[in-house]
Amino acid sequence: MTRAVILFGHGSRDPLWRAPMDAVAERVAAQGLPVRCAFLELQPPDLATAAAELAEGGATQLTIVPMFLGMGRHAREDLPRLVQDLQRLRPGLQVHVRPAVGEDPRVLELLASIAGA
């Protein structure tokens, strides 16, 4: 199986907003994993497009990482609906959705360290 990663964010009209996500994507790619950023709204690509690119490149297993501080409405409601749509379009693709990155204890510890510095 070929595993790939999608970093999923909200999106913004400001193109500079995505720079940190692109930086994370570069680091994931340096680990040898195919990776794409995808956005809920306001900028391309959307989740379906990013998944199609990865699947066409040979990915059979997809990990979606919500790049949110918490599991708000977009991560709880919008993302599961998009994943269901994706699985209908690509039934052979195994899709795993991680919790929001901001809920990972390692991220919380790092944020606390930055805030307290």
Which residues have a catalytic role annotated?
A: 10
Contacts of 72 (CB under 8 A, 6+ apart): 100
Instruction: Please check whether residue 51 is in contact with residue 6, taking contact to mean a CB–CB distance below 8 angstroms.
Output: yes
Element (H, E) at 110: helix 105-116
Side-chain half-sphere CA neighbours of 74 within 13 A: 15
- What is the DSSP secondary structure assignment for residue 92, as one 8-state letter? T
